Amino acid sequence: MASRNRKKNKGKERKAKKEADRVEAERKKVRDLWLDWAVGLEQLVGKHIECHHGYKKYIHSRGFSHDHPVSSFMDTIFRNLDEKFGTICIRDEFDSHPQVWNDNSNKMIAINLMVKIGTSMLLSNKYVNQVRALTLARSIIILEHYDDDGIDMVINSRQVQSKIRDLNGNAASSRSRDLLKFYSKRTTCIKCLKSMHQEARNNMKMGLCYGCTEKKERMTLSVCSRCMVAQYCSRECQVAHWPYHEKGECDILVSAHKRQQQMRRINKVSAEGT
């Protein structure tokens, strides 16, 4: 009886070991992928990039210690990168990585790595990589704005939502003006994106109508006067979308804005009081 139990346990152990090996192999694959991007590897970018876009420090990112909080944060980002197109991709990573969100130096490392990777993705000129750069850009915006207000308030704030909206407006074009501007502003190297950005500056600023979801010149769109985020190409589109917009997105954005204003006032009063 005892020996049979031992055999059974051995079997269980083997199974658990196999599962652990599989998880570890998977993790390593993801880890290698983002490290390769951080170095700007030729087979990913399609050409050799010598520039580190101002983030030379991270050329040796392979030296990142295995258990650095930013490493496991980047693992999750990259594991989900291709599935999270069109969504707020970074919300799920919040609870599991407090050491990145609440530590400014870790947060900066993560942002810098993502900017470096996103810039190389834009340079690759492949559509799929433009989409990845856009997904990364959304995460960067949220990380940059994150403060004590709490994650959901930051995600639903006017500033963050309108920045994300404008990036999305050009999502499908390969020479996205806003995306190029986004990364150009954040890299300290001037040569890499410069010509692409200059070229794209002749493109019109585009935006998506929240109603008909068509892409229009941004200048012709008007914005919802309540939330100041949703934008429409016509009165008809806004009226038709209102029943869906009001009790969903618009209410969430408006209440986030009110709470934010309230907290700012409280902070101001308590700052003046001290």
Residues that bind Zn ion (CB under 5 A): 51, 53, 189, 192, 209, 211-212, 224, 226-227, 230, 233, 237, 250
Task: Dig out the tokens for 155 from the structure.
Answer: 């995600």
Please report how close the Cβ of residue 15 comes to Zn ion at its closest, in angstroms.
48
Please report how close the Cβ of residue 211 comes to Zn ion at its closest, in angstroms.
4
**190: Cα separation from own chain's centroid:** 23
For residues 191, 194, 195 and 197, what is the CA-based torsion angle, rounded to 10 degrees? 160
Give every CB contact of residue 89 below 8 A, 6+ residues apart in sequence. 77, 80, 81, 135, 138, 139
Contact 134, 176 (CB under 8 A): yes
List for the chain the helix, strand, coil content (%; round to 5): 70, 5, 30
Rounded to 5 degrees, what are φ and ψ at 73?
-60, -50
Residue closer to Zn ion (CB basis): 90 or 196: 196
Please report how close the Cβ of residue 189 comes to Zn ion at its closest, in angstroms.
3
Please report how close the Cβ of residue 226 comes to Zn ion at its closest, in angstroms.
4
Please report how close the Cβ of residue 118 comes to Zn ion at its closest, in angstroms.
12
Please report how close the Cβ of residue 152 comes to Zn ion at its closest, in angstroms.
18
Distance between CA atoms of residues 219 and 200, nearest Å: 17
Residue closer to Zn ion (CB basis): 137 or 233: 233
Please report how close the Cβ of residue 70 comes to Zn ion at its closest, in angstroms.
21
Per the rule left: phi > 0, alpha: psi between -120 and 50, beta: everything else, 178 is alpha
Residue closer to Zn ion (CB basis): 91 or 226: 226
What are the residues facing 222 on neighbouring strands?
Answer: 232
In the block, tokens 């693992």 appear at 75
Residue closer to Zn ion (CB basis): 117 or 250: 250
Residue closer to Zn ion (CB basis): 29 or 47: 47
Residue closer to Zn ion (CB basis): 127 or 244: 244
Q: What stretch of H or E contains 208?
A: strand 206-208
Residue closer to Zn ion (CB basis): 53 or 107: 53
Distance between CA atoms of residues 73 and 191, nearest Å: 30
- By DSSP bridging, strand 206-208 and strand 222-223 are unpaired
Rounded to 5 degrees, what are φ and ψ at 223?
-105, 150
